[in-house]
Structure 1
């Protein structure tokens, strides 16, 4: 919807990661043609392309909380006004502002997802390849943004009839992302990278998903399972699904402020 895309990241503008403290620190404007430290795919990177600030993404919990309780009718003429009036936050924000529950959903969003696996570097050819599945085993077909488990699990410790009375109660909170009608969750790509730049990243990799909200915006579902012989735990699972249009996917070293590739892609 057009009103939700007021600050789209365009290819002729610096695919600006609006939620990152890096840009606020650097004082870049939305008209900047390039982002310092950005390294185009298939171009060798040097080890000195560093920032003094780490990358900070949007907080999925804050975005969900901003949407929760809203009932959006895509055909309503007042929808854009309701979205605009939800929350107003400047485009360039410090990390403390970014993590506020009042995070804006009117602008483009950027979610940073850690990638501890699926990154391979060939030192002889200086080729870094990316093959990262962002889904959760229990939630295929959606990108996992955040998973929180509270409470104790009773497996191997208690029998099912006594699990709840003895406090084996878990709450699982999942926040996942879907883009359009697709169920693609695997990120692919490759970049030619110098050995020095790869060493500087020190195994610290993350995928950045740059996107904007799209109907139906949010669905929230809760499921409960009583203790059983196989799983003697009382479990309540909340699954919140954010619906977006993904515009770009980056590979970054978040704590070091390095952009390694801006041309990753999604596949099944």
Structure 2
């Protein structure tokens, strides 16, 4: 038979053992919760960074028109300029803004570029890989912001000599961005993203480019090509290039207003 003192010692030992077991269980649960938080941290970040409204950047066309107007207003318009404004006929003259003061264009710009391809998700690693070329096609040296083609193509429909007379005339309007003098057009990066967050994005991706204008600020060029045997179409192409020092590259889900990553970078 145990004496009262021995009973108290045994009771205290049992309490210590029970407390130790409880602490082990608490630590185990905490570790499990930490693992779950680590797996869902990006989903939580996505939820917290969602505005609930579509993400809209600067309009490339409005930006171009504003810059051209700023350039034009900085000098006295010639008679030819006034005529072109009235009749709205594209000019073959190449314009630059070397005579515009830096203060005219001292502002930041943000453009949203849709991503049709170049996004790969590895569910087992919770990894989203971004490898997106924003140049558009082989004929462009910058990042394509907007390209509009109006008018029918005569390819396989008409011969070169009859293209113009039969109305196969096209106007191509291109607005592109160049990252200073680096000519970088490809976006790279890796994003840790939970399957839930990936599913929530639903394939809706875009790249956000933010930066400020740098000299020579812009270049506005008109090119014309007569119909050929390969392309029996009379084509006039206007290419407007913005020179921007890009300081931020994001991956977003634009329709939901969600920022998925701010850690992307540009390369050649």
TM-score, normalising length from structure 1? 0.72
Within the candidate set 32, 42, 45, 2:43 is matched to 45
Q: Distance in 1 between matches of 2:235 and 2:42?
A: 49
Deviations 1:20-45 (A, max 9, x none): xxxxxxxxxxxxxxxxxxxxxx9522
Q: Is the 8 A contact 1:45 1:192 kept in 2?
A: no
1:137 and 2:175 correspond? no
1:244 and 2:244 correspond? yes
Q: Distance in 2 between matches of 1:58 and 1:122?
A: 33
Displacement after TM superposition at 1:51 (Å): 2.4
1:254 and 2:257 correspond? no
Displacement after TM superposition at 1:176 (Å): 0.6
1:220 and 2:230 correspond? no
Distance verdict in 2 for CA 1:136–1:48, change over 3 Å: closer
Distance verdict in 2 for CA 1:236–1:181, change over 3 Å: same
SS of the residue 2:162 aligns to: helix
What's 2:200 paired with?
A: 200
Displacement after TM superposition at 1:67 (Å): 1.2
Displacement after TM superposition at 1:131 (Å): 0.2
User: Which consecutive aligned stretches of 4+ in structure 1 deviate over 6 angstroms post-superposition?
Assistant: none
1:116 and 2:122 correspond? no
Let me know the Cα RMSD of the aligned residues: 1.8
Q: Distance in 1 between matches of 2:102 and 2:183?
A: 27
| Unaligned ranges ≥5, structure 2 | 1-39, 72-95
Q: Distance in 1 between matches of 2:97 and 2:237?
A: 24
Distance verdict in 2 for CA 1:48–1:67, change over 3 Å: closer
User: Which structure has the greater CA radius of gyration?
Assistant: 2
What's 2:6 paired with?
A: none
TM-score, normalising length from structure 2? 0.72
Higher helix share: 2
SS of the residue 1:65 aligns to: helix
